[in-house]
């Protein structure tokens, strides 16, 4: 919204007079209102619900705190609502990912929970890499560069029929117009001139590519099975399909060329992702608190949950129970001490006499 309104003004035709009289449009409440009105589609329930709950925070930042905290995401999501973490950190306390927050997983993998209050900070390595910090090479790959800060694994490609017979008999790897023959870099064969053959290895294509001319999914010559060319890149997101591929009690998790359906948190009625912070609605006995579904403590509400006199209330997940104190007996409308309970029983003409009385 801030980007979309960056070059706008009050629209009255005399911008200089308006800004002199009404203050600058750039920091005006009018601009804030235009931004807020354009944030959510009318059909986006979750977005509109969050906007309504947090509108006062956004107004406070816009009118009072923007100059002191220019990064809205850091102030709003990380420090105020505490539902996100800064990039390179994870979990409830926003700890640094494996390998450090600047280059998590050595730049060769994805940190579990990166940027969220979830996950365990472990590394899920990109293809070709393995190890706790994604610095080791998988079988079929070798280390072409490794120092204190970087590790690059590259893949050996297949042989070409155009290589001389010595390559096929002695063994060599395909390069860019050259080859490396086991332990030697020169050879002479009948019909071939003597020349130097230089080792050259090609980095692996992106996992979405069947063939490629570069390292990203925008450099694919042909997409792998399960991927399609979309806006110049090989990609697929089955989770965006209509109707959704998962049930109402699950959320869709996109995977490479596929997807999985994961169960929503037990506090959710429908969800868009993992955990109580991604519920569409909360189950009875739960309500939104600090951006996620949390148990309602009925026993602490102003309106008493337990109706009987002297009855104790105990909160339970999603509900509560009412119990008379120890030594008290339960009657129709109260918890009474044993002496009062006996008196009440004596006054009841329909009460049968005790065995001792008989």
Give the position of tokens 């959704």.
244
**Average pLDDT of span 327-331:** 87
pLDDT tops 90 at residue 50: no
- From the list 202, 170, 201, the residue with the least C-alpha distance to 186 is 170
**Would you list the domain boundaries of the chain?**
15-80, 89-154, 233-295, 304-335
- For residues 272, 277, 279, 280, the Cα torsion angle rounded to the nearest 10 degrees is -80
pLDDT at 229: 80
The tens digit of pLDDT for each residue in 224-276 reads 877 778 778 887 777 877 888 899 999 998 776 678 899 999 999 999 899 99
For residues 23 and 281, which has the higher predicted lDDT (pLDDT)?
A: 281
Rounded to an integer, what distance in angstroms lies between the CA atom of residue 350 and that of residue 344? 12
Q: What is the mean pLDDT of residues 60-74?
A: 88
Residue 223, burial from CB neighbour count under 10 angstroms (0-12, 13-18, 19+): buried
Count CB atoms within 10 A of the CB of residue 316: 12
Per-residue pLDDT tens for 123-132? 999 988 899 9
Q: How confident is the model at residue 38 (pLDDT cuts 50, 70, 90)?
A: confident
- Is residue 197 a contact partner of residue 178, using CB atoms and an 8 Å limit? yes
Taking the C-alpha atoms of residue 92 and residue 75, their distance in angstroms, rounded to an integer, is 16
Given a cut of 60, is residue 190 above it in pLDDT? no
> For residue 342, what pLDDT is reported?
58
**pTM, entire model:** 0.41
Contact 129, 137 (CB under 8 A): yes
Give start and end residues of each alpha helix (H) in 228-294. Answer: none
Q: In degrees, to the nearest 5, what angle opens at C-alpha 51 toward C-alphas 49 and 56?
A: 125
- What confidence tens digit (pLDDT) does each residue in 6-17 have? 766 655 555 554
Give the integer Cα–Cα distance in Å for 184 and 203. Answer: 23
Q: What are phi and psi of 21, to 5 degrees?
A: -85, -40
**SS3 letters across 277-310:** HHEEEECCCEEEECCEEEECCHHHCCCCCCCCEC
325 burial class (0-12, 13-18, 19+ CB within 10 angstroms)? exposed
pLDDT of residue 346: 52
| Phi-psi region at 202: left, alpha or beta (left = phi > 0; alpha = psi -120 to 50) | beta
pLDDT tens column, 150-178: 888 877 554 333 344 333 333 333 333 33
Asked if 275 and 292 touch (Cβ cutoff 8 Å), the reply is yes
What is the pLDDT at residue 45?
86
Q: Half-sphere exposure (CA, 13 Å, Cβ side) for 60? A: 7
Choice among 103-112, 177-186, 238-247, 321-330 with the minimum mean pLDDT: 177-186
Count CB-CB contacts under 10 A for residue 224.
Answer: 19
């Amino acid at each position: 919204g801030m980007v979309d309104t960056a070059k706008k003004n009050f629209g009255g035709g005399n911008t200089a007079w308006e800004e002199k009289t009404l203050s600058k449009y750039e920091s005006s409440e009018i601009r804030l209102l235009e931004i807020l009105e354009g944030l959510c589609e009318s059909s986006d329930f979750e977005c509109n619900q969050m906007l309504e709950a947090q509108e006062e925070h956004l107004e406070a930042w816009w009118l009072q705190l923007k100059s002191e905290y220019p990064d809205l995401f850091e102030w709003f999501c990380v420090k105020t609502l505490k539902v996100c973490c800064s990039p390179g950190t994870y979990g409830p306390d926003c700890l640094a990912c494996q390998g450090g927050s600047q280059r998590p997983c050595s730049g060769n993998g994805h940190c579990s929970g990166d940027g969220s209050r979830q996950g365990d900070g472990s590394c899920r390595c990109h293809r070709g890499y393995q190890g706790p910090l994604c610095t080791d090479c998988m079988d079929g790959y070798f280390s072409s560069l490794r120092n204190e800060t970087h590790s690059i694994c590259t893949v050996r490609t297949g042989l070409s029929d155009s290589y001389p017979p010595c390559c096929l008999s002695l063994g060599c790897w395909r390069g860019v117009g050259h080859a490396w023959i086991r332990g030697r870099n020169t050879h002479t064969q009948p019909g071939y001139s003597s020349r130097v053959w230089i080792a050259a290895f090609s980095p692996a294509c992106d996992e979405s590519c069947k063939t490629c001319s570069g390292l990203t999914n925008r450099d694919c010559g042909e997409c792998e099975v399960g991927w399609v060319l979309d806006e110049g890149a090989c990609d697929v997101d089955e989770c965006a399909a209509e109707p959704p591929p998962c049930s109402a009690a699950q959320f869709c998790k996109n995977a490479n060329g596929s997807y999985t359906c994961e169960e929503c948190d037990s506090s959710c009625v429908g969800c868009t992702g993992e955990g109580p912070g991604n519920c569409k609605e909360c189950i009875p006995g739960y309500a939104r608190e600090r951006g996620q579904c949390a148990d309602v403590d009925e026993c602490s509400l102003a309106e008493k949950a337990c109706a009987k006199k002297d009855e104790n209330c105990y909160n339970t997940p999603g509900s509560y129970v009412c119990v008379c104190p120890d030594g008290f007996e339960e009657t129709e409308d109260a918890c009474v001490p044993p002496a009062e309970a006996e008196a009440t029983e004596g006054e009841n003409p329909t009460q049968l006499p005790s065995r001792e009385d008989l």
